[in-house]
Structure 1
Amino acid sequence: MTGDEFLFEIPNNAESSTSYAGDPEVSAVLDWFRSQRRMEARFGQVFRKSIDEVLDGQRTGRYDLNVKQGPRRVEKTEKTYLGTKVEIVTRAEFELEYGFPMDYKVAGHPVDAKFSIIGQWEIPKEAVGHICLLMTANDVKGSFRVGILRTTLDVLSTSQNGDGKRKITAQGKQKISWLVPDGKLPANFLLQLDNENPNLLSGVFEKQGSGQLRVDDFFRKVQGRLVDRTTVVTVAMQKDGPKRVRDARLSLRDEGIVILGYRKPSPRIASDLGLPIPKQGFWVSTRLTELSDDDPRPAALINGKRWGIWHVGDAHVAAPAVNTDVDD
């Protein structure tokens, strides 16, 4: 079993699989979370931020939690710390009070935070009998789950590990009341690309010592898709991602490539060409060619000329200047 797999299945009636009518404290905690605006999306951002902060791409160039060897490996201690990071970011996102003796106070009741990459939660002695916020996220599959369970002895294994912790049994997991049974985790674009074409990123990251050359090569090779800021700073292994994008615009112009951002006229050009439209913190690159008036392809008017996406056989021309003097 790898870290990319969940170790249990969710029942079809997951959201209502457990009734806590006889446990008003659990009911109150469930009601509180379910009353929160955009709860599912906010939990997704909690996991995305937490994973990205542990990977620390701008310093390490890492984008995959499951790498165990080589310069981009993630140590076991870092994966352990991910649970603490999720606890901290969850508290900040939902403005939760510090609890005693558990991590949080929710609707006036103590709640402990428990995160596991593979959904195999271990409960320490001090949390037995308490309400737990159970969280798990799978970056490869782009999914996450969040649930509530009172961790009484009947849902825990009889055996303990060396630290005195017990695992939630398969039968115990059936009693989890799911707040988010199958959430969509915001994308890890580099991990997504690596799964599609492992050779693509290895070629980019081979350019040691120059963050700018890596960013140039990335936008050269990855065209027509939205690229987020975390991706750029990870490729560059530098903090000033927007500046690297601005310089890449200048570097790639002679190859006919433009990099469109959120500032005008980029969104209009992207729309006219049928490309995804970048919002703030995102970019999309494409190679252009000048079109004749009778060319039926989608065209964008730039500096008084018609431009379209380059196809094999089109003329090789320098790209028009688009947002080359701004960071966005």
Structure 2
Amino acid sequence: MNLFEEAQRIPLPDHHLDFPDLARLETELINAVGGWEAFEEKLRGFFRSAIDEVIDTARTGRFFFSDLEKTEKTYLGTKFEIILRDWLDVPRGIKFDLLVGGEEVDVKTSTSAQKGGWMIPPEAFNQLCILIKVNERDALCDFGLVRARQEYLRAGANRDAKTGLSAEGRKNIWWMAERFAYTPNFWSLTNSDDRNAIMQGGGTQRIATLFERFQEVAISRVQIEGVAAQDDFMKRIRRNSGARDILAPKGIAILYSENDADLMRQLGLKFGKREFLSYTAKNEGEAALLRASNHID
């Protein structure tokens, strides 16, 4: 089950007023994250891990974005900023959210289903901004760059003097990824029978059932914790009495992006940062790779 396509990158034309600044910012971001392949892998897991941490299935019993309170959805913007700084490994600026290549950059996020949705405060007018948009229903995201020039903004403002990009102004966004398929909420791919089956038995059996039923589906570390419902959930996956001992004799491997990224790429799998994925070899060559790495018996 391949849920992903390549990121659609739409840069501005090289004669555009903002081309030099945004081209330089894109280069700084790609270098910071470790290249385009790393950017796409991290972007797939970026939204999933942030949203799943706020849903917090293990403690709240909730499964979906729609279960969140309004204040939690608002907090997600801050969560995205924190995780973005972490995976770019850049510091916070003095005035704005990030310091990238010696220049301050503000981060604007939106979970609105409508176009745009980013609110730009007066202090960010004419400044470099990263625009992040997430559509959890369809598991699609946008990641763009813009210099928020006043001529790109709507004339009206809210009570805080914030405003958004006009329809014409949005034509000045440099898209590093538009309508990019990130890792969907695993639970949205299940039905009630699946959920009931998965949540039977102890933590190890639950994880084994999950990975046997849903192969080649990337699943976040936070969601695994929710299924195991135990503090030592990682132990429930490993060899030595974990789910791998149940599935390896069946030829099903449990792969983890932080340990098995190279192998997962060899198998042509798409995944995000800190995500698990189960896989059955399609041929003897793949089986040999999995056996050599002690993932199957």
TM-score range, shorter chain: 0.5 to 0.7
More RCO (CA 8 Å, sep 6+): 2
Report the CA distance between 1:164 and its aligned residue: 2.4
Q: Which runs of 5+ in 2 are unaligned?
A: 1-7, 261-268, 285-295
Structure 1: any 5+ residue segments left out of the alignment?
1-11, 68-72, 268-275, 286-297, 300-321, 324-328
- 1:1-328 equivalences under 5 Å are 14-16=10-12, 19-21=15-17, 24-36=20-32, 37-38=35-36, 39-65=39-65, 67=66, 73-118=67-112, 119-191=116-188, 193-194=189-190, 198-204=191-197, 215=207, 218=210, 222=213, 224-226=215-217, 228=219, 229-245=221-237, 246=241, 260-261=253-254, 281-283=276-278
Higher percent of residues as helix: 2
Letter in 2 for 1:109: E
Partner SS for 1:30: helix
Task: Report the equivalent of 1:310.
Answer: none
Deviation at 1:166, TM superposition (A): 0.7
Change (3 A) 1:125 1:205: farther
CA shift for structure 1 position 40: 3.1
Amino acid across the alignment from 1:125:
P
Q: Report the TM-score, using the length of structure 1 for normalisation.
A: 0.62
1:227-286 alpha-carbon deviations (Å, 9 max, x no partner): 64444322233333344454668899xxx98864359xxx9xxxxxxxx9x99944469x
CA distance in 1, matches of 2:246, 2:93: 53
- The offset of 1:132, in angstroms, is 0.7
Per-residue CA deviation, residues 110-131 of structure 1 (Å, 9 max, x unaligned), is: 2101111234111112212211
In the comparison of the two structures, how many residue pairs are matched? 254
Describe the SS at the equivalent of 2:168: helix
Identical pairs, percent: 29
Q: Secondary structure at the match of 1:97?
A: coil
User: Residues 48, 223 of structure 1: CA spacing in aligned structure 2 closer, same or farther, 3 A cutoff?
Assistant: closer
Q: CA RMSD in A?
A: 4.0
What's the offset of the Cα at 1:181?
2.5
- SS of 2:40 mapped into structure 1: helix
| TM-score w.r.t. length of structure 2 | 0.67
Tell me what 1:272 maps to. Answer: none
